[in-house]
Amino acid sequence: MANGPAGETNAPSADLKAEPVPISPGPGPVPISELPPALEHLDEVRRLAGGRPIAVFLDYDGTLTPIVDHPAKALLPEPTRRALQRLAETVPLAVVSGRDLDDVRAMVGLPGLWYGGSHGFDIAGPGGERLEMSPELLPNLDAAEGELRAALAGVPGAWVERKRFALAAHHRQVEDDRIPEVEAAVDRVAAAHPELGKTGGKRVFELRPNVPWDKGKALELLVEALGIEGADPFLVYIGDDETDEDAFRVVRDRGLGVVVRGEADARPTHARCSLSDPGEVPRLLLALAGPASARTPHEGVEPPEQGLDETP
């Protein structure tokens, strides 16, 4: 596997697995504002991992980059790209985004990774592997696209982005009192196309194939594709949005969900700890890559106090 087989992952020390951890205890969701900061609890993360090999999965927008007024402006900071590259040399790594597959691959710019586009409906590996979910519904998305563009033509600031397996109605630049018009238009198109389902996100409404598939199921498929299922990996998922909650639920009992907080973000989440903003993500990535990366200076990234292999 291009980004490292399970046997070569940088695993925490196995003699630390017995001690319980206080990171977001209990089975249910908690408000994001109440989660402990991940970078201040690396020792607890290490004990939670308990010597298992680590695999890391990440969202893109709002996680690796800040949310901006147009998706094309969400460029990956070079310090974050370098941290991703370092981590990919150490553990299995995949990026699962709401963006189109080709779009997120181009934005990240690291060819040796697995990528999931359209919230995991379109998955590709570094060796040419490819899996598309529900391609038979592409004509339905084509029809709904024309209807949605027409319905939103009169709402200033609203625009429709066609992805291969989704339609995104962006309202980041729409006046607050007109956002209900955007949602109503999406609802009308969804009602006319029951084979498509409506979902939400940060300043966006989406229509996707109405099938039982999401980022959580995509993550499970990626674990199998990476060839690490038999190693009982410690799964880390880092995301920021409602669409990441399915993945947080999958890793809650198998690893660690880390939510990147938004401004005044208090919604319930199944993540166990948090980062304050995308600027903290590369620090966590370097910690996950191990003590050598945690101690090595990386331009533009303040190193964490220790990597996950180090005993506090």
Residues recognised as catalytic: 59
Q: How are beta strands 273-275 and 255-260 bridged, if at all?
A: parallel
User: What's the token pair of residue 121?
Assistant: 């409906």
Single-letter amino acid code for the residue at 184: A
Phi, psi of 156 (to 5 degrees): -60, 135
CA-based Rg of the chain, rounded to a whole angstrom?
19
End-to-end CA distance of the chain: 32
Rounded CA-CA distance 192/101 in Å is: 27
By CB neighbour count within 10 A (0-12 exposed, 13-18 middle, 19+ buried), where does 178 fall? middle
Partners of residue 259 on adjacent β-strands: 239, 274
User: Of 40, 77, 45, which Cα lies nearest the Cα of 60?
Assistant: 77
DSSP 137: G
Query: In 47-178, where do the E strands start and end?
Result: 54-58, 93-96, 114-117, 122-124, 130-132, 159-163, 166-170
Handedness of CA 184, 103, 287, 233 (dihedral sign): positive
Partners of residue 209 on adjacent β-strands: 196
